[in-house]
Each structure stands twice: as C-alpha cells, then as structure tokens.
C-alpha cells in the first residue's frame, strides 16, 4: 500500500528497487532496462520518468518493494522554477524540472507554481517534446 500523498484517480504500480531510494519519495525514477519491475533514480530526459510514491532501502540481491505513479495526479519535488502547464522531466538528481527541449521525454505536467525543493501537484502524463 502506498504511503505517498495521492490525489484523484491515481493509477500505481508496485516496483522493486536495488538501491537506497528511502529518502526519494516524490522524485523521478526510471524503469530499469535490464532488471524487470525494478526502478532507478532518474538522471535526465532520455527515458520516461515516473513519480516515486514509496521509496525503500534496497540493495543488490536484497530488493525492496515500492510504488510509482503511472497516471493521475500526485506530488513531486521540484528541481527549479516551474509554472502550471510546464512539461516536467528529471534533472541529473531525480528532481522534476521544466523541459522544452526537442525530443526530451517528460513524465508529468505541472498543476502548481514551484521553486526549487517545493513539493507540487502534477498530472502524470508521458510524452515527447516536439519543437514547432
């Protein structure tokens, strides 16, 4: 069961982690490319990020269970200035930042104004930025 703050019709997925994500609730994570159902802290816009709702202390060979948001509304931690409607991706440390860069992958749309380290509400939506 998720202990993160939840809003609306949130769809979640149970995942595992093999690193320490216990202090990373509201951060961005990516699905691990080699270890099914496992997540790692996100570090950029080259994979679709998902909000981590429940983190745990996992270790290689001793995975722990957590929860990510797949769709709906939830909270995330901002890595910089954000405006409502901004497309959000991960910075190099798993915090959520605005992206307008062509071909960047994003995982949420901001519903609130934020400064760095604010926790804000987002709509979980995956997409690719397309320069027009």
Q: Give residue-wise pLDDT tens across range 51-90.
A: 999 988 887 677 899 999 999 999 999 999 999 999 999 9
Q: Are residues 66 and 92 in the same domain?
A: no
User: Distance of CA 63 to CAs 4, 12, 27, 56, Å?
Assistant: 20, 19, 19, 9
Burial string for 72-91 (b: 16+ CB within 10 Å, else e) reads: bbbbbbbbeebeeebbbbbb
In the predicted model, is pLDDT for residue 1 greater than 50?
Answer: no
- Say whether both 23 and 50 belong to one domain: yes
Residue range 31-56, pLDDT digits in tens: 998 888 999 999 999 999 999 999 88
Within a domain: residue 1? no
Total domains present in the chain: 2
Instruction: Among 70, 93, 115, give the residue marking a domain's end.
Output: 70
pTM for the full model? 0.90
pLDDT tens digits along 96-128:
999 999 999 999 999 999 999 999 999 999 999
Supply the range of the domain harboring residue 95: 73-128
């Amino acid at each position: 069961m998720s202990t993160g703050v939840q809003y609306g019709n949130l769809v979640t997925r149970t995942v595992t982690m093999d690193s320490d994500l216990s202090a990373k609730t509201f951060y961005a994570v990516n699905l691990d490319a080699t270890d099914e159902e496992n997540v790692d802290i996100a570090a950029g816009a080259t994979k679709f990020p998902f909000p981590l709702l429940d983190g745990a202390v996992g270790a290689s060979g001793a995975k722990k269970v957590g929860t990510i948001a797949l769709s709906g509304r939830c909270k995330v931690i901002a890595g910089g200035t954000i405006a409502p409607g901004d497309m959000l991706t991960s910075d190099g440390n798993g915090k959520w930042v605005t992206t307008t860069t062509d071909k960047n992958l994003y995982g949420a749309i901001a519903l609130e104004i934020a400064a760095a380290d604010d926790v804000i509400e987002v709509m979980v939506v995956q997409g690719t930025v397309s320069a027009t």
